[in-house]
Structure 1
Amino acid sequence: MADDGLITIGALARACGLTASALRFYDDCGLLVPVRVDGATGYRYYSEAQVDRGVMIRRLRGIGMPLEVVAEILDGDGARAERLLDAHVSELARRAREAAVVARVIKEEIGAGVVLPAAVLSAAIEQVRAAAARSREIPVLAGVLVESSADSVTLTATDRYRLSTRAVVPVRPSGKAWSAVVDAGGLGGIGSWLQGLAEVSVRSAAGELVLTGGGSERRCAILEEAFPDYRAMLAGLAPVRTRMVVARDALLALLEDSAPIALVADRSGLSATRGGQFEYGSPRCRESQANEPQRIPASVTGADLEIAFSPRTLRPALVSAIGPEIMLDVAAADAPVVVRSATDGDLTTLVMPTAIANSK
């Protein structure tokens, strides 16, 4: 305290709950001007009576009152101050209601996940999950990888002999990218539910994939293991040497039993033989075990090729494919074969050819 009964800026700051820098600011604004300023040192000195004004300023600023309105309240009459306070509280309430609406919309968008056409998602699940492993020897291979990005949702499954992946374009993308490996068995039970919906919201939450639509939801367990890097597998495929576009039903008809099938592709088209003994690089049927070659409607481009398949790997890829014609891209008789619809590239499946040793 100064000798003339005035108090220092530090004492006033402590008394009214403000900082010294705030008091200097309010001095510059003319809201709380010191009684005296030492000309030599620049020290500010205040009266005890200014403590109440400092407290009032702190409280008004604490509720977001603009500086110019604070001055009107402090220096005007009581009725004017009440009107200004009521108007400010009403404005705060209005802004709070608007903020609550915006926050609710944002929370719904964040929590809702990605919105997909339900029938398309149902078809994609059935197409892809057929490639998931049936055994639990490697648990993650019994799952389907679901990846949500800004412009698509991609489903992928592989059992090491097949790999299927399909992208679905969302009706409304999610606000963030995420991925989860979902138990393929759990996905198998939601097809009929999805068929009854127009759209479905999909999100990953608390160890589950949550699908919401039509006022109900379905939950599928998420597997914690890391999914194989299938993109590296696709990027590492050798260049295509032979492309076959073949009637799907004709090829399916040759896969009705468990007998392996050999395909011979050349400039004349495609022929198939069932039930023989095959080996990589020369899968033609051997001796009397062979059936007669059968011609299949197809167009072939690229190098002549002989390749063999097991029905248990090729048939699911054909069943899940879209359209009447199938495209098979082959790099070699012992390399993964890319199977796609000839007209719709959304679904891609890799199928390993078979190597059945010739036996005498």
Structure 2
Amino acid sequence: MEGRMRGIGRLARESGLTVSALRFYDGAGVLVPAHVDPRSNYRWYSDDQVLIARLVARLRRVGMPLAGISRVIEHRDDPAVVDAVLQAHLARLEEGLADARRELLHARSLLAQESPMTSISTTTTALLDALRAVRFAVGTDPGLPMLTGVLLDVADDAVRVVASDRYRLAVHTIAADVTGPQGSAILPISLVDELLGTTTSGPATVRVAGDDVAVELAGRTVRGRRVDADFPDYRRILRGAGSAQVEIDVARFRGELAAAPTRTVRRAEDGVEQIATVLTFGTVEVGVNREFLLQALDAEAAGQLVLDLDGPIAPLVLRGAGRDGDVSMLMPIKLD
């Protein structure tokens, strides 16, 4: 028997599983020994069980639950079933990684409130253009305080200015020199509007220290307190180019938007009636809030834009030519 079989210790060495893990998977019915000595209860495994043990070890290392491991082993001769189990686990891992990134970003922001000051140096023109480009998307619902300001997000090598009211998302990237810890701060809308009333030019510096925000523009300082809330992870919403891109002349598109037909639709979740402006791109009909789309066009302040489409229920995305990091996203109105 010993010439044809291997003991549990040898299988542990060959597979990368511990002896206790092999005993656990035996008890769970995932990897049952080919033979158990009735007197000593010693477990013996066959040659073909080495591959199974190595497979279990790899799945275990990537955190696959016991039920998933069991299903892979049980259906290992059925590629379709195995692929489905592996893909589902990979999706869970990717979602978990995204969650971890969000939590670490929030942790960084919390630590920044106790850390040395973050200083962002740019130009008044760049800062005000960015604030103006996203101001239209700021929310007004007091029940969602995290959306009632403008996010200043300092991460990696980019400084992004972001606003959203759940139905719209606007992101504008500015060139800046950053000193101090990375992180994010939500600027109160009162501070933003005060800055947008500025007509000066020259250098601009934003300093965030704890809950305090100070913006210096050409010798003038505007102060406020950051919004005490966590901005949603807008990066999960951003996507690459859609399945179709339409270059639009903004002036002509405004005329087409004014002449486009409208349709009254009832929102499924609460029964509220909405007036949808129906835009047609080839064979695809997309319903939009006309006012929201016009505000996005105004904010871009460009003659030419690229409209990204990914079907009738995916967000519409406006991109400025040559500015891939700057987007305005608009949730469509689902047409009946």
Aligned residue runs from structure 1 range 324-339, under 5 A: 324-339=303-318
- SS of the aligned residue for 1:203 comes to strand
Amino acid at match of 1:204: V
Residue of 329, 332, 335 corresponding to 1:350: 329
- SS of the aligned residue for 1:306 comes to strand
Distance in 2, Cα, partners of 1:228 & 1:294: 29
- Counterpart position of 1:117: 123
User: Does residue 204 of structure 1 match 2:241?
Assistant: no
Aligned-pair CA distance for 1:143: 1.4
Distance in 1, Cα, partners of 2:117 & 2:220: 15
Q: Which moved more, 1:120-129 or 1:181-190?
A: 181-190
Distance in 2, Cα, partners of 1:173 & 1:294: 42
Q: Is the Cα–Cα contact under 8 Å of residues 308 and 316 in structure 2 kept in the other structure?
A: yes
Residue of 174, 178, 195 corresponding to 2:179: 174
Superposition TM-score, scaled by structure 1 size: 0.53
Aligned-residue CA RMSD in angstroms?
3.1
- SS of the aligned residue for 2:137 comes to coil
Q: Is the Cα–Cα contact under 8 Å of residues 242 and 304 in structure 1 kept in the other structure?
A: no
Amino acid at match of 1:314: L
- Counterpart position of 1:161: 167
Q: Is the Cα–Cα contact under 8 Å of residues 144 and 182 in structure 1 kept in the other structure?
A: yes
Distance in 2, Cα, partners of 1:184 & 1:200: 18
- Counterpart position of 1:68: none
Distance in 1, Cα, partners of 2:279 & 2:297: 19
Amino acid at match of 1:116: T
Aligned-pair CA distance for 1:250: 1.9
User: Structure 1 residues 343 and 150, CA, compared in 2 at 3 Å: closer, same or farther?
Assistant: closer
Aligned-pair CA distance for 1:206: 3.6
- Counterpart position of 1:244: 246
Residues 263-300 of structure 1, C-alpha deviations (whole Å, 9 max, x = no match): xxxxxxxxx622344699xxxxxxxxx99x999xxxx7
User: Does residue 183 of structure 1 match 2:170?
Assistant: no
Superposition TM-score, scaled by structure 2 size: 0.57
Structure showing greater Rg? 1
Aligned-pair CA distance for 1:348: 0.6
Distance in 1, Cα, partners of 2:219 & 2:118: 13
Amino acid at match of 2:246: M
Distance in 2, Cα, partners of 1:304 & 1:243: 14
Amino acid at match of 1:211: V
- Counterpart position of 1:232: 236
Residue of 132, 142, 164 corresponding to 1:136: 142
Residue of 319, 327, 336 corresponding to 1:340: 319
Distance in 1, Cα, partners of 2:194 & 2:257: 27
Runs of 4+ in structure 1 off by over 4 angstroms are 277-280
Residues 192-232 of structure 1, C-alpha deviations (whole Å, 9 max, x = no match): 32x31301111112412210132221013211111101111
Q: Which structure 2 residue ranges, 5 or more long, are not aligned? A: 1-115, 268-275
Aligned-pair CA distance for 1:254: 4.6
User: Structure 1 residues 179 and 243, CA, compared in 2 at 3 Å: closer, same or farther?
Assistant: same
- SS of the aligned residue for 1:218 comes to strand
Q: Is the Cα–Cα contact under 8 Å of residues 161 and 172 in structure 2 kept in the other structure?
A: yes
**Equivalenced residues, count:** 214
Distance in 2, Cα, partners of 1:308 & 1:142: 26
- Counterpart position of 2:226: 222
Q: Is the Cα–Cα contact under 8 Å of residues 121 and 168 in structure 1 kept in the other structure?
A: yes
Aligned residue runs from structure 1 range 1-360, under 5 A: 113-149=119-155, 151-170=157-176, 172-193=177-198, 195-235=199-239, 240-255=242-257, 273-277=260-264, 304-357=283-336
Distance in 2, Cα, partners of 1:222 & 1:112: 13
Amino acid at match of 1:213: L
Task: State the identity as a percent.
Answer: 23
Residues 62-89 of structure 1, C-alpha deviations (whole Å, 9 max, x = no match): xxxxxxxxxxxxxxxxxxxxxxxxxxxx
Amino acid at match of 1:164: A
User: Structure 1 residues 233 and 276, CA, compared in 2 at 3 Å: closer, same or farther?
Assistant: closer
Amino acid at match of 1:227: F
Residues 224-273 of structure 1, C-alpha deviations (whole Å, 9 max, x = no match): 111101111225x7x722211111122223556xxxxxxxxxxxxxxx62
Distance in 1, Cα, partners of 2:179 & 2:214: 13
Q: Which structure 1 residue ranges, 5 or more long, are not aligned? A: 1-109, 257-271, 281-289
Distance in 2, Cα, partners of 1:294 & 1:338: 14
